[in-house]
Structure formats: structure tokens, C-alpha cells
Amino acid sequence: MTGAGSAARVPSGGTGRRPTLAVVGATGAVGTVLLGILSQRADVWGEVRLVASARSAGRKLIVRGAETEVVALSEEAFEGVDVAMFDVPDEVAAQWAPVAVAKGAVVVDNSGAFRMDPDVPLVVPEVNAHAARVRPRGIISNPNCTTLSMIVAMGALHAEFGLSELIVASYQAASGAGQAGVATLRAQLAAVAGTDLGEKPGDVRRAVGDDLGPFPAPLALNVVPWAGSPREAGWSSEELKVRDESRKILGLPELRVSATCVRVPVLTTHSLAVHARFENEVTVEQAHEILANAPGVVLVDDPGEGEFPTPADAVGTDPTWVGRVRRSLDDPNALELFVCGDNLRKGAALNTAQIAEVVAAELTAP
Amino acid sequence: MTGAGSAARVPSGGTGRRPTLAVVGATGAVGTVLLGILSQRADVWGEVRLVASARSAGRKLIVRGAETEVVALSEEAFEGVDVAMFDVPDEVAAQWAPVAVAKGAVVVDNSGAFRMDPDVPLVVPEVNAHAARVRPRGIISNPNCTTLSMIVAMGALHAEFGLSELIVASYQAASGAGQAGVATLRAQLAAVAGTDLGEKPGDVRRAVGDDLGPFPAPLALNVVPWAGSPREAGWSSEELKVRDESRKILGLPELRVSATCVRVPVLTTHSLAVHARFENEVTVEQAHEILANAPGVVLVDDPGEGEFPTPADAVGTDPTWVGRVRRSLDDPNALELFVCGDNLRKGAALNTAQIAEVVAAELTAP
Ligand SMILES: NC(=O)c1ccc[n+]([C@@H]2O[C@H](COP(=O)([O-])OP(=O)(O)OC[C@H]3O[C@@H](n4cnc5c(N)ncnc54)[C@H](OP(=O)(O)O)[C@@H]3O)[C@@H](O)[C@H]2O)c1
Ligand SMILES: NC(=O)c1ccc[n+]([C@@H]2O[C@H](COP(=O)([O-])OP(=O)(O)OC[C@H]3O[C@@H](n4cnc5c(N)ncnc54)[C@H](OP(=O)(O)O)[C@@H]3O)[C@@H](O)[C@H]2O)c1
């Protein structure tokens, strides 16, 4: 029942057989970006098998330059698979990840189905790569995109200053709600652009009509302070994920975390305004040095010269962009920052690919 | 040198002569909304004189149903004026408000020119109407729109729980940068809507071209973590205004305040995600009761049923909309809230009109 089961199929001693990868959900918002990433990164994979729902079976997608046919999700789809990436809805992952494990694959799951399971590590390679090795259920979880969009930067600062509290407000992109989110925002923008709508009450609601897609309110010319589903005492599932997952990844079960998650009319790339409080006094100079040297982080911080991170600049790139670093005027232990990360890349597909590569290296190690 | 100078012209004893009002900047984003507000509110004014730059002299605008000609700003424009509202850039207000006062008017100024002057009260009628009576320079300042969009709600909670800290992230509309901001966002949206742009790096910058209007980065399909001009240690003028003005309005010179100000692609209505810490323990039930009963506040808080404030719903309305009220999970003294306020109405023109009405009542009191 451990993911190491698959190791049996990979000859030890580094014979050079490359592991077989399955991408489950290859046709989705995350899956599409993942195929691009697989084509760009150093290629560690043998066969790459594309899996989606029966609706997509037979479709041909390009991966590593080759047309590859999508197969329908089934037990057989995992035959001979060493690593299976899951980029599908929670309930599909909950049902099928154990099937893939039983067939001998290590699963790297992008859904929320297993993230808080104590027997499933929650991994961000720059922060806790070591955790990927201990996976009692054969499953490794990829954090939620909102947490991922900031956690590499926060991990680097934590290592130096000792994090004690995070108060964050998010600016989340439409593609965080999948392909449906992107299509909805595009349609709504087409309905309002070129009109004089947007400055009278009800204007935007009338213009975009009743089909709000995956959002609970119009997103064009608007911001929507709600993502996910209702949880206790007024919190959204998305806000609690930021708290629970940040604590688990950083190994800080007592970390104080308050998040307000808000959707904005951006297609891809989540941003967060972060107030981070530390055990120790901080300076902007030290923070700049840490962030400038942190793997996976790009520091862009000269706002008077127009140098700050924005989604339009960060989209399609791999790193976490950080800027607007200020020390709180009333608290020498706290920093304010603004962070952007492509929610489909580092926020999902890239982190999955990085975890899968850690596993591949382990499986093929001499 | 006190604004009471103008009282000399208003016969005491309540003879019923209505004070003369000048609207300086009548053609701007704030001025336009103000003319609408003057037409909607109980009419306390005699003559309403419209003033703008020489560029606009002779233009005819509608106020209280009547076509009124715009006159150019000059000393004569203040002849016989009892109250002068200034909705013009800082430097124009700095130069001309003292001229209006010298001509006998009480000035209600919307610019940033006098807000932190210790001899100029900074007034939000729901919070500190009494402060409007003491105006050594004859000038009353209207707060910045970002502060105003949340302060009525925060004042009500402060009165009950005692505010000790505010950590806010803003979602500020384009019209906060005036008519030019609105025109820029509309043009940028027209350039990107109906295209497949926005998901590759540089896409949006290429589509909108070099003319970014009053913003330091493209605003369509983007968020821009910068508003105002550079101040010490990485802070923007807008962020320091939220701190300085909240302290002054609430009479809390030691209040801890950290703000991150971010522009979003919304035409009008600023939103803020607020983390508010109090001296005393809070409950969501008490906060709901206070907010539901606070003048100028509307509570909209049933997110599972789609009930939360958004700019598209709040735009064009007078109150501060508040929702997403949660008690911090790690701090019984702190609340998280999401607040929306029309930056041109309560955030500017409406608050100015309310202050001017307080002055008018004082001038005409028996
Ligand atoms: N979007 C993000 O920013 C983001 C970030 C982190 C994590 N995630 C998570 O990643 C997962 C995928 O998200 P997404 O945004 O890519 O969603 P999406 O665009 O809606 O794509 C869903 C994918 O799942 C497949 N699928 C759906 N039902 C299936 C079924 N019954 N059997 C087999 N395949 C099925 C779809 O295949 P068909 O095309 O055949 O329907 C498609 O490939 C979700 O768990 C999401 O929470 C998303
Ligand atoms: N927009 C907001 O949300 C907001 C909120 C609170 C406070 N404020 C403040 O309110 C003021 C006006 O802002 P706005 O957004 O309405 O700006 P705006 O749309 O640019 O309008 C500026 C107004 O000032 C007039 N003006 C400019 N230069 C002048 C001069 N030299 N002499 C006489 N009139 C002159 C303009 O007249 P012409 O049309 O003739 O040029 C126009 O009426 C600013 O101080 C701003 O900071 C704005």
C-alpha cells in the first residue's frame, strides 16, 4: 500500500528506463498548461499517456511535439504507469487516485481530495521537497493555487525570520475556476466592452445576463469576494485552505492565518497582498536579499519606476513574483508584500511537474 | 481668518435666505456626480454656481433640472458665495481655497491639499460631524476616497469595540484617478475584449499600447499594486493617506494601520478587505447588529446565498456596503470584513455634500 510499490517496476541501478507518466485531466485548464510544461522542461519521462473523461477520448493533443490520443479514464489507463498526475475535480480524484496507486503508480494530485490527509504529504519542492519521500498512501498532494502563489516567497522569509502570522487578501484569476471560468470572463468582457455600462447600479448584472458560469456574481468590471463553498462561521473553503495548507507546508500547526479570497477580472495569475508577522525584527534590506536569492522567486521592487509585480507580467512564467516590500510602520516584526504567481503554472501544473520529477529521480536513482 | 466670516452675510435669526454654493471642478469625475447628488438631495441651496477651468467656461451643465453655465475659476467667481466645494487637483485647491475663504466662503475641499493640516478638520458626518464646527482656516477637508469607502463602517465598530489595528488591502476603481482613469480603462477593455489575449506574458501590454493613462501599468485584465506617488521606505502616498486620515478622523493618533493599495479593472466603487483588531473581544453577531443599525451602512452577509457586497451592486448608491464578516480564527479580538463604497459618491461628492449641508444648517440656524 505504499507508492514505493511502483519502484518494483523501475529497475534499480539506474539502467536508464524512463518512467511512464499518466496525465489525468489532460484536457482541462491545468492539464493544458501541464502539457506545455512537459514540452519545455528537461524530459525525464518515457511514455506520456493522456487521460480525460470519456467525452474527450480520441481527441489528439500535442505533448513533447508529438500528437497523442486521449484515452478515457479507466483502471486499464494506469497499466504500466509509474507516476500519475491528477488534474481533475475533487470527487474524480478521490475515486480514481487509489485505483492508480493499486495499479502501482505514485499519484501526484492537484485536487483538494487528499491535501489535509495526515498520510498524504503536501509538497512545494522549494519549501519541503523532503516530505515527498514519505507517502504512506502512495499519494502526494499539490497545494491549492492560492496558497501556492505565495508560499515559496513566504517559505524563504520564514526560514530567516520565523513566521508567526499571515493576513492575506487575494486577487484571484478566473482560470482558478478552470476552463469554465476563463470562458465566462471572456464572454462577460465582450458584453460590457465598448458600452458605457458599469457606472450605474445593476448595469453589469443586466449586461452579462443570468449565466454567471462558475462565479456567484458577475466578474467583468467587478470583484467578487467569494471563492469556493461555505464553511463554518462565514468562512469560504478557499480561505480555510490558505490557512490549513500554509500551516501544513511550513510545518507550523499554530501559525495564525486570516485570508479573504476575492476573484478579480484577470484571466490567469493570482495575486496576494500579504501582511506577514515574524518572531524576529525584519528589515526591508534583509527581506530583499532573501527574496532576491530564493530559488523560484523574482524580486521586482522599485515602484516609483513602475517596477512591481502584476498578473499581466507574471502570467505564463514560472516564478513567484514579489514586490512592494515594506516594513509595517507600526510593527518592526511585520512586512507587507504584494505577490503574483501564475495559478496554472506554479499554482498547479508546474508544481505538479516538479513533484513528479522528484519522484521520477527517486524511482530511477541507482 | 475663520470660516465663520461668511456668517456675516447670512442674516441670523433664520430669515430663510438660502446660502449660495459654488462647485469648483464641476466638470470633473467628482463634480459630475456632485451635480447629480445636488439634484437628488433635499435642496438647501440658493444659487448654485458652477466653476471649472477656463477650458470649460461657457459649457452648460444641468443641476437641479436647470441648465447652468460654467464660469472660469477667478476671484470674482466667489463673489457672494457662502459655501464653496472644491473638486479640483491638489495644487489648484491649494492656491484657490484660501482665495474663496478670503472672499467670505467656507470651503469644503475634496483634494489632498489640506487634509493633514492641524487647523483643518477632516470630516465624515456619520463619524465626527462635530469636528466641522472648528475650522480655523475656514476650510474643511473631505477624506481620500479609499479611507472614506471603509471609515463609516469602521467608526461604528470602533465606537463599540475600540479599534487598535487596521490591516487593509484595497481593490480601487479606475475613476479614483478621475475621468482620465475611466477613459483609459474603457479603451483598454475595448482593445482586449473579443481577443484571445491575456494568458501569455506581455499580451496585455502589447494590446493596450503605450498610453497607460494615469496608471503605471495596464489595468484591463490586470491588477496594479500602486496608486499615488512614492513616499518613504516603499510606501505610496495613497497607502499613507489611509493611515494618516483614519487616525485623524477616528481621533486615534496611535492606531496601527497598514494598507496595500491596488487598482483593479472596475470603473467606479472601491472595495477593501479589512482585518480589524479591537481592544475588546468581538463576535460576528454583535458586529452584525452594530453594522445593521449604523447610519450610512448596509449589511449584506449571507455568502452561501450569494449575498456579499460587490462594486457592480454598490456603484451609484450612497451607503457603505459591508459583508463577509468573520471573526479571525486565531484572534478573538479581530474581525475580517469586505467593504464596498462608491468612490465618487460617499468616497467624494456625497460626503462633500453632507459636510456642506452641515455648514449650511449652521449658517442659517436661528
Ligand atoms: N485552475 C487552477 O488554478 C487550479 C489550481 C490548482 C489546482 N486545481 C485543481 O486541479 C483540478 C483540475 O482543475 P482545472 O481548473 O484544470 O479544471 P477543468 O478546466 O474543469 O478541467 C477538468 C479536467 O478533468 C477532467 N474530468 C472531469 N470529470 C472527469 C471524469 N469524470 N473522468 C475523467 N476526467 C474528468 C476533464 O476532462 P474532459 O475535458 O474530458 O471533461 C478535464 O480534463 C481541480 O481539482 C482543481 O481544483 C486547479
Ligand atoms: N475620483 C475620486 O474617486 C476622488 C475621490 C476623492 C477625492 N478626489 C479628489 O477630487 C479632486 C477632483 O478629482 P476628479 O477625479 O473629479 O478629477 P478630474 O475628473 O480630473 O476633474 C478635475 C476637475 O478640476 C478642474 N480643474 C483642473 N485644473 C483646473 C484649474 N487650473 N482651474 C480650474 N479648474 C481646474 C477640471 O476642470 P476642466 O474640466 O475645465 O479641466 C475638472 O472640473 C481631486 O483633488 C481628487 O484627488 C477624487
The amino acid at residue B315 is V
> Of residues B158, B261, B270, B340, which has the active-site annotation?
B270
Closest C-alpha to B361, from B117, B120, B106, B142: B106
- Atom index in ligand 2 nearest the CA of residue B148 equals 6
B159-182 burial code (b ≥16 CB/10 A, e <16):
eebebbbbbbbbbbbbbbbbbebb
Whether residues B336 and A301 touch (CB distance < 8 A) is answered with: no
Q: Bridge-partner residues for B256, per DSSP?
A: B165
Place A361 in a pLDDT band, splitting at 50, 70 and 90: very high
Cα–ligand 1 centroid distance for A13 (angstroms): 36
Task: Note whether B66 and B35 are within 8 A (CB).
Answer: no
Residues whose CB is less than 8 angstroms from the CB of residue B55 and which lie 6 or more positions away in sequence, other chains included:
none
Is B13 a residue whose pLDDT tops 50? no
Place B24 in a pLDDT band, splitting at 50, 70 and 90: very high
Q: How far apart are CA A274 and CA B288, in angstroms?
A: 26
Sort out which chain A residues have CB atoms less than 8 A from B333's CB and list them. none
pLDDT tens string B312-338: 999 999 999 999 999 999 999 999 999
Model pLDDT, residue B166: 98
Judged by a CB distance cut-off of 8 A, whether residue B16 touches chain A is no
Instruction: List the grid coordinates of A318.
Output: 514560472
Model pLDDT, residue B366: 80
Q: Bridge-partner residues for A139, per DSSP?
A: A107
User: Ligand 2 in contact with B141 (CB < 6 A)?
Assistant: no
Judged by a CB distance cut-off of 8 A, whether residue B209 touches chain A is no
Place B163 in a pLDDT band, splitting at 50, 70 and 90: very high
pLDDT tens string A44-61: 999 999 999 999 999 999
pLDDT tens string B193-235: 888 887 888 889 999 998 899 999 999 999 999 999 999 999 9
Q: Has B175 been labeled as part of a binding site?
A: yes
Active site residue B270: yes
Place B17 in a pLDDT band, splitting at 50, 70 and 90: confident
Nearest CA owner, ligand 2 atom 29? B53
Q: How far apart are CA B242 and CA A275, in angstroms?
A: 16
Helix (H, G, I), strand (E, B) or coil at B199: coil
pLDDT tens string A83-112: 999 999 999 999 999 999 999 999 999 999
Compute the residue count for chain A. 366
Judged by a CB distance cut-off of 8 A, whether residue A193 touches chain B is yes
Compute the residue count for chain B. 366
Least confident of A230-234, B4-8, B131-135, B278-282: B4-8
Place A310 in a pLDDT band, splitting at 50, 70 and 90: very high
Q: A residues 252-281 near B, CB within 8 Å? A: 256-258, 260, 262, 264-268, 271, 273, 275
Q: What percent of chain A has pLDDT over 70?
A: 96
Is A1 a residue whose pLDDT tops 70? no
Model pLDDT, residue B14: 52
Model pLDDT, residue A12: 44
Residues of A catalogued as catalytic: 145, 270
Sort out which chain B residues have CB atoms less than 8 A from A243's CB and list them. 329
Judged by a CB distance cut-off of 8 A, whether residue B232 touches chain A is no
Rounded to 5°, the CA angle A226-A231-A237 comes to 55
Model pLDDT, residue B202: 86
SS3 string, chain A, reads CCHHHHHHHCCCCCCCCCCCEEEECCCCHHHHHHHHHHHHCCCCCCCEEEEECHHHCCCEEEECCEEEEEEECCCHHHCCCCEEEECCCHHHHHHHHHHHHHCCCEEEECCCCCCCCCCCCECCHHHHHHHHHCCCCCEEECCCHHHHHHHHHHHHHHHHHCEEEEEEEEEECHHHHHHHHHHHHHHHHHHHCCCCCCCCCCHHHHHHCCCCCCCCCCCCCCCECCCCCECHHHCEHHHHHHHHHHHHHHCCCCCEEEEECCECCCCCCEEEEEEEEECCCCCHHHHHHHHHHCCCEEECCEHHHCECCCHHHHCCCCCEEEEEEEECCCCCCEEEEEEEECCCHHHHHHHHHHHHHHHHHHHHCC
Helix (H, G, I), strand (E, B) or coil at B279: coil
Is A200 a residue whose pLDDT tops 90? no
The stretch B43-61 carries a mean pLDDT of: 97
Is A219 a residue whose pLDDT tops 90? yes
User: Ligand 2 in contact with B55 (CB < 6 A)?
Assistant: yes
Q: How far apart are CA B28 and CA B254, in angstroms?
A: 35
Model pLDDT, residue B15: 55
pLDDT tens string B244-292: 999 999 999 999 999 999 999 999 999 999 999 999 999 999 999 999 9
Whether residues A312 and B221 touch (CB distance < 8 A) is answered with: yes
Helix (H, G, I), strand (E, B) or coil at B73: coil
User: Ligand 2 in contact with B108 (CB < 6 A)?
Assistant: no
Whether residues A225 and B262 touch (CB distance < 8 A) is answered with: no
**In angstroms, what CA-CA distances link A328 with A275, A283, A303, B240, B251?**
8, 10, 17, 11, 21
pLDDT tens string A143-175: 999 999 999 999 999 999 999 999 999 999 999
Please name which ligand lies nearest the alpha carbon of A91.
1
Nearest chain B Cα distance for residue A105, angstroms: 32
Q: How many CB atoms lie under 10 A from the CB of residue A184?
A: 22
Is B2 a residue whose pLDDT tops 60? no
Place A366 in a pLDDT band, splitting at 50, 70 and 90: confident
Judged by a CB distance cut-off of 8 A, whether residue A67 touches chain B is no
